[in-house]
Amino acid sequence: MSDVLLSVEGIAKRYGGVQAVKDLSFDLKQGEILGLLGPNGAGKTTAFNMIAGFVAPDAGRIMLQGRDITGKRPWEVCKAGLARTFQLSRPFGGMSTRENLIVGGLVKGNDRKRSLTNADDLLAFLNMTALADTDADNLTAFERRKLELGRALSTEPTLLLMDEVVAGATPQEAMTMVGLIRQLRHRGVTVLIIEHVMKVIMGLSDRVIVMHLGGLIANGLPADVVAQPDVLKAYFGDDYVDAGV
């Protein structure tokens, strides 16, 4: 099991009378792109928040590279090698694109020269070198989305959690983002991604897991998982499956 990067073991979270996540367990291997699917309200974002340290689980354990990060604060989880992107990109306004990336690079130390070098490398990777000195407030929505990815990568993570990275993107922008994500494994980054655009998740993921009503209902190859009756029922309802549509 030495190739297991992330191990989620029976985590759970309740908000009042709502069991948002219950007994969720799965592993993520080094270099893998794992897609997390599920209808609205399935518990996907709550699971992300627990893994990334924004919410403490009520039960269970989260291991990253053999280290217990359960209940650690977001900055502690980040220093351990895990970064995440958010659905809504909020760069530091009044700072340039390059400066936004430099700030992220200072998470693990105060080596400004290294942070600047890494920032310029990421600008090239994101095809944003021409925007290096542009105020982040003046970027387009998709450029901000790419900057959000860059800021996460600037912390030099081993694991990246990505939340609906193509939401609101044009087809061409979505293709660009998919291309960037595919290159991440060559940068030594493993990916766990939530995405509602089925074509994107099916084309990207080596494996997918599916949540419904807070629990895990499927885990396997994309083509196999999306054909499972439990998954079809979660998305389309019992009538759809019973009718053999």
pLDDT computed for residue 237 by the predictor: 74
Q: Is the pLDDT of residue 5 over 50?
A: yes
Q: Is the pLDDT of residue 244 over 60?
A: no
**What 3 state SS string does 144-207 have?**
HHHHHHHHHHCCCCCEEEEECCCCCCCHHHHHHHHHHHHHHHHHCCEEEEECCCHHHHHHHCCE
**Please, what are the domains in the chain?**
4-87+160-242 (3.40.50.300)
- Global pTM reads 0.90
pLDDT computed for residue 234 by the predictor: 82
End-to-end CA distance of the chain: 40
Look up residue 185 and give its two tokens.
């494994």
Q: Is the pLDDT of residue 243 over 70?
A: no
What number is the average pLDDT over the span 35-54?
94
pLDDT in tens, 83-127: 999 887 889 889 999 999 999 888 877 788 889 999 999 999 999
Kindly list the distances between the CA atom of residue 238 and the CA atoms of 119, 214, 227, in Å, as whole numbers in the listed order: 50, 18, 14
pLDDT band for position 167 (cuts 50, 70, 90): confident
What number is the average pLDDT over the span 208-234?
91
pLDDT computed for residue 1 by the predictor: 39
What number is the average pLDDT over the span 18-45?
94
Kindly list the distances between the CA atom of residue 65 and the CA atoms of 6, 9, 10, 71, 202, in Å, as whole numbers in the listed order: 6, 14, 17, 16, 27
Cα-flanking dihedrals φ and ψ of residue 145, to 5°? -65, -40
Look up residue 15 and give its two tokens.
């908000």
